[in-house]
Amino acid sequence: MNFSTAEIGALARAVGHAPSVHNTQPWSIEPRGDLVDLYERFEVSLPRHDPTGRDRVISCGAALVNLETTVRALGWGAETTLFPQADRPDLVAEVRAAGRADKTDSIAARYDAVFRRHSYRQPFRLSRLHADRLRSLSQAVGEDGTQARVIDHRNESADLAELLGYAARVLQDDAAYQRELTAWTALPESADRMSLPWAGLVRHGTRVPDEITFTARLAQEGLLVVLTPDDTRRDHLHAGAAMQRIWLEAVAGDLVASVVTQPLHLPEVRAGLIERLGLEGYPQLLIRVGYPTPALGSTGQGSCPVAVIRPGA
């Protein structure tokens, strides 16, 4: 079989709705008969935010989940091969339509969540998400060795507040980072003042709370840290896929979320998380999950994004 023009359009729209830092969308797709190749766009670079390209690969992992979800929503099975060609490092995955398959209610719910998902950067409703709900979301990561570990709000909020507060102050004093952030984002100053410092948009004017206040705020958050057994590009791809599966599961359950990666690019913060929280693996990102506060709204990713389709596809 070959994907139809309408199916290719559906795949491109879904992949275009995957999350990426500053909505850079560092991927492209190439349909080939019953295959869709997913490429990492190395030319998309954020040297201050993402100096090693780790977040770029994480974003590709999220795009991969949207691609797989859409293939299944179109009524096909999905067989995925990661890094299928050793001589093509930019080819991160290929997804094959593997015969007709039933579209289940869970697939339909996740597909719908692809288009409802957005980065919610404001405080959540005061009723904190129950730990059992967080543990249930953590089970959506997959079976590749990647884990989503719940942050204990009672015993780990203070350590997390200290590390994230430190990261916020470092980023505020990093002139090159601030220039890059300003160049890629267009949020008004009022939005900066509303944005929480652990949401990853830390500007000069962002109000970083004192450690006691920060600890109390974090204790009201539903937080997960995504861990991988190693720190390779394959691990980063797995982390992005795990992140997106959790996010879609949360949205399908009428929750909202946002993701934090920037503090983990500071080696001392990443090492501090491993040591203080006793993490067994490499922390790749933090996910905030909770109930929305309707009056505050949310920050989306723009209207109708569509993935780049490689020329000749």
What are the tens digits of pLDDT across the range 191-214?
444 456 666 678 888 888 899 999
Q: Are residues 149 and 96 in the same domain?
A: no
So what's the pLDDT on residue 208?
Answer: 87
Residue 267 lies in a domain: yes
Whichever domain contains 78, its CATH number is 3.40.109.10
Q: Are residues 206 and 244 in the same domain?
A: yes
Residue 23 lies in a domain: yes
Q: Are residues 192 and 247 in the same domain?
A: yes
So what's the pLDDT on residue 171?
Answer: 93
So what's the pLDDT on residue 144?
Answer: 83
Q: Are residues 262 and 161 in the same domain?
A: yes
So what's the pLDDT on residue 298?
Answer: 44
So what's the pLDDT on residue 128?
Answer: 85
Number of structural domains found in the chain:
2
- Give a three-class secondary structure readout of the chain: CCCCHHHHHHHHHHHHCCCCHHHCCCEEEEEECCEEEEEECCCCCCCCCCCCCHHHHHHHHHHHHHHHHHHHHCCEEEEEEECCCCCCCCEEEEEEEEEECCCCHHHHHHHHHHHHCCECCCCCCCCCCCHHHHHHHHHHHCCCCCEEEECCCCCCHHHHHHHHHHHHHHHHCCHHHHHHHHHHCCCCHHHHHHCCHHHCCCCCCCCCCCHHHHHHHHHCCEEEEEEECCCCHHHHHHHHHHHHHHHHHHHHCCCEEEEECHHHHCHHHHHHHHHHHCCCCEEEEEEEEECCCCCCCCECCCCCCCCEECCCC
So what's the pLDDT on residue 301?
Answer: 46
So what's the pLDDT on residue 199?
Answer: 64
Q: Are residues 184 and 246 in the same domain?
A: yes
Residue 166 lies in a domain: yes
Structural domain for 67, as ranges: 5-118+303-309
**Which of the residues in the chain have pLDDT under 50?**
189-194, 296-303
